[in-house]
Amino acid sequence: MKPFCAPLQSQVVEICVSVGDAVRAGDALVIVEAMKMEHELRAVAAGQVAEVFCAVGDVVHEGDALLVLGPAASDPIPQPAAPEAVAASATGRADLARLRDRERFLLDTSRPEAVAKRHALGLRTTRENIADLCDESSFIEYGALAVAAQRSRRSAEDLIANTPADGMVTGIGSVNGAEFGAERSRTVVMAYDATVLAGTQGMRNHAKTDRLLGVALAQKLPVVLFAEGGGGRPGDTDMPIVAGLHVGTFAAFAKLSGQVPVVGIAAGRCFAGNAALLGCSDVVIATRGSNIGMGGPAMVEGGGLGVFRPEEIGPSDVQHTNGVIDILVDDEAGAVAAAKHYLSFFQGCTTGWTAPDPQALRDVVPENRVRAYDSRAAMAGLVDVGSLLPLRTGFGAGIHSALGRIEGRPVGLMANNPLHQGGAIDADAADKAARFMQLCDAHGLPIVSLVDTPGFMVGPATEATAQVRHVSRLFVRAAHLRVPVFAVVMRKGYGLGAMGMTAGGFHAPVFTVAWPSAEFGAMGLEGAVRLGYRKELKAVPEGPQREALFQSLLAQMVARGAATEMASTLEIDAVIDPADTRAWLVRGLAGSKVAAPPTRGGIDTW
């Protein structure tokens, strides 16, 4: 027989057995207390109580004998509890039952009327959007049990039932995990709940936001924000504040710019503080039914600016055209799909890509040198099938910008648009391209520039738009790029505009190549002939004779500015078959390097 000894200095508070009792392994024998904590001392094997040496109230020391266990009449082999029994035991706990009861208020099923109203508008609930965005069972929620800071004016039961999560669901989930793995797919998700106090920004959900933004910055995790909501909430009464202008949410959100990818999504109404956060995002994805504005109807009316319906303030067609919205989609399902696509470019390379038919590039540029064409066909013809994601399609029509992949590697692409002002670069197009370069640079994506421009737009009306400052952003931004640039001149490579499209000059990119259709000059060749040969042209009678001379001089200048002539003087690196362009880019990308991340600030919101 072996004595059962005290494992620590303590006081006996309960003796659970008597002499002669049969015990099984795991049965409680004695309960002692030390430092206000009770310790159950249990049998390690089956046996029978032979002697008891202690009494309730005794102070015992480590190693003191408490009782003696003799051999059992028959030693049964201990059997582990069945899983069903363990589960039943766990769910039978009162504390767990209370938690489960509280958690049910977080489910959409707890508020069927609010959900039905949401669905009637053709919109999804916050949790439906998160479930669509995140891989199954990957989302862990932070701050789920928060309620609105209104305890002084509403009952606890009311707040729990009607302000779940304080109107904002926050947490971390996996996005595109099946393709990129658990580590690369971890994403911070923050979603205002429009069914709770109109998705307004309360003090509790500000605190939740700040908590997740800190995690995102420290762990370098991308962020997706579902921004629908009405801005600041005046009804929170539990905080001793006046205006709440000290909150750190906006500064913390803005601090992520350039550090991690930040995606903003808007459906329904997104006003005031919610819109301010949306505007800090790298990319804004919005539905056609969205309204985005720095002030909703109440704020507009309060400012004495008139009475408007929410639908009249910042509708999607306006915000897409003016450049606020980068990606316009039909509904929230489309928004989530676009967010996944966008995030994938910053999660790594892919395998299993499909190359487009390279020979199709030979037909992109018309043989007629003055015929307009859609340069987006060149972008699609260079990247892996299905990978192209155009950005800011409603704004700055003179330049297309998009993300794509070349043999699985993410890249940024921009291309002049000959269908708009012949491809001339105006202020909006320059802003769009400069900001796009900054986006790619911040996140380490090489840039492919497809050039077909007569230069910067000129004229009195153009200069009234501050053209000088706007187009110069192309040079300043390119001068500080850490990512490689690859330039392909498809047709017109004229003047400063062509230099702005090639990181500041034809020798700035890793390589600058041209298609046989390319032509070059310090300015547009037609204009160069009219200016350079003004006297000669005036000396010939106006009419067919003068036009013939003009065409003859123009043909000479086109010949001098041909791609092969440029290559012969080493102003460009090569003239290539358009069908070989993707192969050139594959080799260039394989041999190029991205410098260390910059220490400078974030990405311009504009």
Q: pLDDT tens across 106-116, in order?
A: 999 999 999 99
pLDDT of 603 reads 73
Mean pLDDT within 342-353: 96
pLDDT of 74 reads 60
> Which token pair is 11?
């006081």
Both ends of the chain: CA-CA distance in Å? 83
| Band of residue 242 on the pLDDT scale cut at 50, 70, 90 | low
Q: What is the mean pLDDT of the chain?
A: 92
Least confident of 314-318, 342-346, 552-556: 552-556
pLDDT of 81 reads 52
Q: What is d(CA 456, CA 523) in angstroms, rounded to the nearest whole number?
A: 10
pLDDT above 90 coverage of the chain, percent? 75
* For residue 378, pLDDT beyond 60: yes
- Number of H helices and E strands in the chain, helices first, is 22, 25
Neighbours of 32 (CB within 10 A): 23
Q: Is the dihedral of CA 499, 501, 504, 509 positive or negative?
A: negative
pLDDT of 72 reads 79
Q: Which CATH class is domain 2-70?
A: mainly beta
Q: What is d(CA 456, CA 252) in angstroms, rounded to the nearest whole number?
A: 38
* For residue 254, pLDDT beyond 50: yes
Q: Which CATH architecture has domain 101-344?
A: Alpha-Beta Complex (3.90)
- pLDDT per position as a tens digit, 271-303: 999 999 999 999 999 999 999 999 988 888 888
Q: What is d(CA 163, CA 53) in angstroms, rounded to the nearest whole number?
A: 58
Cβ distance 433 to 401 under 8 Å? yes
Nearest by Cα to 207 from 173, 239, 184, 172: 239
Per-residue DSSP letter, 145: T
- pLDDT per position as a tens digit, 3-28: 899 999 999 999 999 999 999 999 99
Q: What is d(CA 518, CA 562) in angstroms, rounded to the nearest whole number?
A: 6
Cβ distance 4 to 66 under 8 Å? yes
* For residue 76, pLDDT beyond 60: no
pLDDT of 238 reads 76
* For residue 498, pLDDT beyond 90: yes
* For residue 261, pLDDT beyond 90: yes
pLDDT of 91 reads 58
Least confident of 74-78, 384-388, 421-425, 527-531: 74-78
Neighbours of 577 (CB within 10 A): 14
Pick the residue with more confidence: 82 or 317?
Answer: 317
pLDDT of 600 reads 63
pLDDT of 302 reads 86
Residue 34: enclosing H or E segment and its boundaries?
strand 28-34
> Which token pair is 63?
């190693």
pLDDT of 599 reads 65
Q: What is d(CA 549, CA 329) in angstroms, rounded to the nearest whole number?
A: 52
Cβ distance 106 to 165 under 8 Å? yes
pLDDT of 53 reads 94
Residue type, 164: P
Q: What is d(CA 204, CA 147) in angstroms, rounded to the nearest whole number?
A: 7
Q: What is d(CA 233, CA 221) in angstroms, rounded to the nearest whole number?
A: 28
* Residue 94 buriedness (CB in 10 A; 0-12 / 13-18 / 19+): exposed
Cβ distance 244 to 232 under 8 Å? yes
Q: What is d(CA 166, CA 394) in angstroms, rounded to the nearest whole number?
A: 35
pLDDT above 70 coverage of the chain, percent? 96
| Band of residue 522 on the pLDDT scale cut at 50, 70, 90 | confident
Mean pLDDT within 345-361: 96
pLDDT of 575 reads 98
Q: Where are the beta strands (DSSP E) in 193-343?
A: 223-226, 262-266, 269-271, 283-287, 291-293, 327-329
pLDDT of 89 reads 53
Nearest by Cα to 265 from 368, 369, 337: 337
pLDDT of 559 reads 85
Pick the residue with more confidence: 524 or 585?
Answer: 585
Q: What is d(CA 583, CA 587) in angstroms, rounded to the nearest whole number?
A: 6
pLDDT of 542 reads 86
* For residue 576, pLDDT beyond 80: yes
Neighbours of 328 (CB within 10 A): 22
What's domain 358-518+562-591's superfamily in CATH? 2-enoyl-CoA Hydratase; Chain A, domain 1 (3.90.226.10)
Q: What is d(CA 497, CA 479) in angstroms, rounded to the nearest whole number?
A: 15
- pLDDT per position as a tens digit, 194-228: 999 999 988 889 999 999 999 999 999 999 999 99
pLDDT of 77 reads 46
Three-state DSSP at 486 gives strand
Q: What is d(CA 183, CA 223) in angstroms, rounded to the nearest whole number?
A: 15
pLDDT of 479 reads 93
Q: Is the dihedral of CA 249, 254, 255, 258 positive or negative?
A: positive
| Band of residue 512 on the pLDDT scale cut at 50, 70, 90 | very high
What is this structure's pTM? 0.86
Domain ranges of the chain: 2-70, 101-344, 358-518+562-591, 524-561
Nearest by Cα to 375 from 456, 454, 491, 478: 491
pLDDT of 525 reads 79
Q: Are the folds of 2-70 and 358-518+562-591 the same?
A: no
pLDDT of 239 reads 74
CA dihedral of residues 183, 128, 439, 325 (deg, nearest 10) = 180
pLDDT of 85 reads 46
* For residue 463, pLDDT beyond 70: yes
Residue type, 32: V
Chain centroid to CA 206: how far?
20
Cβ distance 578 to 515 under 8 Å? yes
